[in-house]
Structure 1
């Protein structure tokens, strides 16, 4: 199951790495794909709520895509 979020504050590679690490901390097998241009993050293999909370805990605002 894939989940997609919009993360408006995601603006650079460091943001992508931080978000990826945060999601993989709660779901180690998760695959995270980020598109900086559209501020979208697609996550495969993680519970949507836990992934969202992990991104928010990393300091980013999360919107449902």
Structure 2
């Protein structure tokens, strides 16, 4: 088979074992939505779109969270913004991130 499409995955350092994606991938809220509260947390350990999906799904399971935006920094500290109509318990956010298999970071360093 000579008609192969090179995906560029084997030389990429910006992905995990399951895939490699650019670091600007986001899981975004609908543009028309408006939320009363937005809280930003820093999450360590995410490397790919699967990581983003996992964190987003677990955060969306928290009561009150209506949307999650993720600014993936593959292999570094990613910025996650949680949108809600009312304040969400920070311990619930931390528990959801940890349930997904990641940890909150205290700074971008």
* TM-score, normalised by the number of residues in structure 1: 0.81
Segments of structure 1 that go 5 or more residues without pairing to the other structure are: none
- Once residues 65 and 43 of structure 2 are traced to their aligned partners in structure 1, the CA distance between those partners, rounded to angstroms, is 21
After TM superposition, the runs of 4+ consecutive aligned structure 1 residues lying more than 6 A away are: none
What count of residue pairs does the alignment treat as equivalent? Answer: 65
Q: Which of the pair is proportionally richer in helix?
A: 1
**1:41 aligns with one of 80, 83, 102:** 80
Correspondence for 1:4:
40
Q: Structure 1, residues 13-55: CA drift from partner, whole Å, max 9, x if none?
A: 0011001100111236521000113511000116133122111
* TM-score, normalised by the number of residues in structure 2: 0.52
Correspondence for 2:58:
22
CA RMSD of aligned residues (A): 1.9
Largest Rg, 1 or 2: 2
- Once residues 91 and 106 of structure 2 are traced to their aligned partners in structure 1, the CA distance between those partners, rounded to angstroms, is 11
- Tell whether the 8 Å contact from 2:59 to 2:65 is kept in structure 1 after alignment: no
Higher relative contact order (CA closer than 8 Å, sequence separation 6+): 1
Answer yes or no: is 1:60 the counterpart of 2:102: yes
